[in-house]
Chain A
Amino acid sequence: MHIRTWAAALAIGMSAWAVAGAGELSGWIAVEGRGFLNDPLHRGQERDNASIAAQPEYYHTWENGSSFTFVPFGRLDSADSRRTHADIRELNYMYRQDNWFFRVGVGKVFWGATEFVHLVDIINQTDLIEHIDGEDKLGQPMAEFSISPSWGTIDFFLLPYFRERTFPGRRGRLRTSRVVDLDDVIYESSSKENNIDVALRYSNTFGGADFGVYVFRGTSRDPLLATPDLVPPELIDPEDLDDYKLIPFYEQINQFGADLQYASGNWLWKLEAYWRNGYFQDYFAATGGFEYTLVGVGGSNADMGLLCEYAYNDRDDGGQTIFQNDLFFGVRLSPNDAASTHLLAGFAQDTERSENAVSVEASRRFGANWRLILDAWFFLDTASGSVLNELRRDDFARLELAYYF
């Protein structure tokens, strides 16, 4: 009886759902192999790895302006048990009217302008174990309210739950010699991950310029990674800590950030900057540069973008910030072919230490649903004592074949 009542209710509910709007399912499933040029440097690491991942997406929209989005994600990795992980990238309900909307649930928001370093993007935590480029993000629980009067857009975010950054485990590559301890995470806030973070952003467009300014108050997304002896004793009993691990410390910060994109002719100028007030010190960070686009290079159909960016960070953290004073050069190549081939190559040079690295990312479509992605990173020269130095044997090439549906 009960089961039949439930089944009937479910059937009615589902048909109401189907009648009231339109739903669609899309997403991708991919196999990936990462091959490393050298044997691992750190004890316990496996040399290469293979993995399979999927990210379906369900989207439902109703006539009244509301919509529902669900994007789960999961990966199975052959080497690193931490890289075998699942996440809810998005699970949210949005209600939109002409010039305002609100969204509640797990969401994803990107702020920023530059290509190589993403400084001001702060709402979502980085899923670092996915890719060293830091562009994969964990879903963030949020309530967002946005209104766009004639003089710009104001977004308000209430972020009630904090997501910890992911780091490679003992058997994974692209890590420091000390594994990051995920059991003894330290928060400055006594509410720990339940600290309620807030953010307020204003953005607008004037002619060729898009800009945004924001204030964020809450738990920093970038942990300071400390050896147990450096952890402030008032925050944790050193006896509880594993000697050979790095302890992530998430401080409370006030951050004022700004981002700007300005297009003029074939030039695109980009700037990101923030000022942060945290537990140990106040500091400033900025990154900016340009992209110049050559259309139809050599009489062909191809476009070529030449990129140059500079990143500066005055945080005094014993070399944990990889990009403190670095120059980046890049080339973006789009042949504009039927397979939507893309290539982006970058070169990073530290201006203070003799450190540099190269990355190449290329992809093309096969048939209507397949895409092949190749990316490779080479840490050419690293200085002792820096984070990059610990990755000096981790030059790798990654090949991914994804099926989109």
Chain B
Amino acid sequence: MRDMSWAWIVTVVGLIVVAATDRSVAAEPSAEERGLAIATEADRRESGYGDSTASLRMVLRNKQGQTSERELRIRTLETENDGTKSLCIFDTPADVKGTILLTHTHKEAEDDQWLFLPALRRIRRIAAQNKSGSFMGSEFSYEDIAAQELAKYTYRWLGDEVYDGNDCYVIERTPVDKANSGYSRQVAWLDKEHYRTWKVDYYDRKNERLKTLTFQGYRKYVDRFWRAGQMDMVNHQTGKSTTLNWSDFTFGTGLKEIDFDRHSLTLLR
């Protein structure tokens, strides 16, 4: 009797194991699994740069085609276990010269953000949970500008497509914290060879296409990291657009955590 039951158990367990193994080997990964795998690989290729600096020129265009410009310097530092630290230092327009935005993104926790106002030598913390607001009057919101933390979205693979001569994966990103995002979802085109993003469609909360971001002028730095020289964000609903021109990318500049400390804001130029 006792032997009998052991035999039964072994058989049942064996069948379950075989079934499970069979499933994982033979069945296609789900669209969600593929989406996550693509995003994870893109994130892996993006990691490990340590620190970088760059210059950024923003050109804002309204519906009538009038433009205004901003120039800023960006400094970025990867931290070992928790997100990215970044500084945006404004050089123009002249009335905001010396204004600095400091952001500590976290893999899962709420991000920390501070604004330094040079006229008053004052550091103001920003209650930054809601990231849908415009960055400096541009068509980029804070969530478009901030470092993309993998865990802050769920993913779905939508298919493969040739975009601008590149064989691309098309994946959908859905924000985990829906209440504080301006988007219901994003659809991104990443090339299969280097996992570089070429295009992103942003859908508003009513699931209508709001904005499209396109990338061009990719260059490889330190033999590994691809950076686009130009990004164009077009708002389909307002007709406004913003172009970002990136230059002077430098990696391994020796920036340290202390340079991204709140207290250091008063010392930077």
Contacts from A to B (Cβ < 8 Å)? 26, 28, 59, 61, 67, 94, 96, 98-99, 101, 108-110, 112, 135, 146, 148, 153, 203, 205, 207-208, 210, 261-268, 291-293, 295-296, 301, 303, 336-340, 365, 368-369, 371, 402, 404-405
Bound CA span A301–B109, Å = 26
Bound CA span A67–B112, Å = 29
Ordered nearest first, which 8 A-B pairs have the shortest CB separation? A404-B94, A336-B134, A295-B130, A268-B127, A404-B95, A110-B121, A261-B125, A263-B127
Contact at B127–A368, with CB atoms within 8 Å? Answer: no
Q: Does B23 contact A (CB under 8 A)?
A: no
**Residues of A contacting B96 in the complex (Cβ-Cβ under 8 angstroms):** 340
Contact at B125–A210, with CB atoms within 8 Å? Answer: yes
**Residues of A contacting B258 in the complex (Cβ-Cβ under 8 angstroms):** 98-99, 148
20 cross-chain CB contacts under 8 A: A26-B94, A59-B269, A67-B269, A108-B121, A109-B266, A207-B112, A208-B112, A210-B114, A210-B123, A210-B262, A265-B127, A296-B132, A296-B133, A296-B182, A336-B134, A336-B136, A365-B95, A371-B95, A404-B94, A404-B95
**Residues of A contacting B121 in the complex (Cβ-Cβ under 8 angstroms):** 108-110
Contact at A61–B269, with CB atoms within 8 Å? Answer: yes
Contact at B133–A295, with CB atoms within 8 Å? Answer: yes
Bound CA span A365–B96, Å = 10
Contact at A336–B93, with CB atoms within 8 Å? Answer: no
List residues of B (123-179) whose CB comes within 8 Å of A's CBs: 123-130, 132-134, 136-137
B208–chain A nearest beta-carbon distance, Å? 12
Contact at B60–A338, with CB atoms within 8 Å? Answer: yes
**Residues of A contacting B261 in the complex (Cβ-Cβ under 8 angstroms):** 148, 153
Bound CA span A268–B262, Å = 16
Contact at B130–A293, with CB atoms within 8 Å? Answer: yes
Bound CA span A393–B65, Å = 47
B52–chain A nearest beta-carbon distance, Å? 19
Contact at B262–A135, with CB atoms within 8 Å? Answer: no
B99–chain A nearest beta-carbon distance, Å? 10
Bound CA span A296–B94, Å = 27
Bound CA span A296–B131, Å = 10
Bound CA span A338–B137, Å = 5
Which residue of the partner chain B has the closest CB to A270? B125
**Which of A96, A337, A371 is close to B137, meaning CB atoms less than 8 Å apart?**
A337
Given contacts A203-B263, A336-B134, contact A265 B129 (CB under 8 A): yes
Contact at A135–B125, with CB atoms within 8 Å? Answer: no
**Residues of A contacting B207 in the complex (Cβ-Cβ under 8 angstroms):** none
Bound CA span A96–B266, Å = 12
Bound CA span A268–B127, Å = 6
List residues of B (95-134) whose CB comes within 8 Å of A's CBs: 95-98, 109-110, 112-114, 120-130, 132-134
Which residue of the partner chain B has the closest CB to A24? B269
Given contacts A26-B94, A101-B267, A365-B95, contact A110 B134 (CB under 8 A): no
**Residues of A contacting B113 in the complex (Cβ-Cβ under 8 angstroms):** 263
Q: Does B92 contact A (CB under 8 A)?
A: yes
Contact at A96–B267, with CB atoms within 8 Å? Answer: yes
Bound CA span A293–B131, Å = 11
Contact at B127–A293, with CB atoms within 8 Å? Answer: yes
Bound CA span A263–B102, Å = 14
Given contacts A108-B121, A402-B95, contact A98 B269 (CB under 8 A): no
**Residues of B contacting A135 in the complex (Cβ-Cβ under 8 angstroms):** 120
Bound CA span A131–B182, Å = 39
Contact at A368–B122, with CB atoms within 8 Å? Answer: no
Contact at A266–B127, with CB atoms within 8 Å? Answer: yes
Bound CA span A67–B268, Å = 10
Contact at A291–B120, with CB atoms within 8 Å? Answer: no
B107–chain A nearest beta-carbon distance, Å? 14
Q: Does B62 contact A (CB under 8 A)?
A: yes
A349–chain B nearest beta-carbon distance, Å? 24
Q: Does B256 contact A (CB under 8 A)?
A: yes
Bound CA span A98–B256, Å = 8
Bound CA span A303–B130, Å = 10
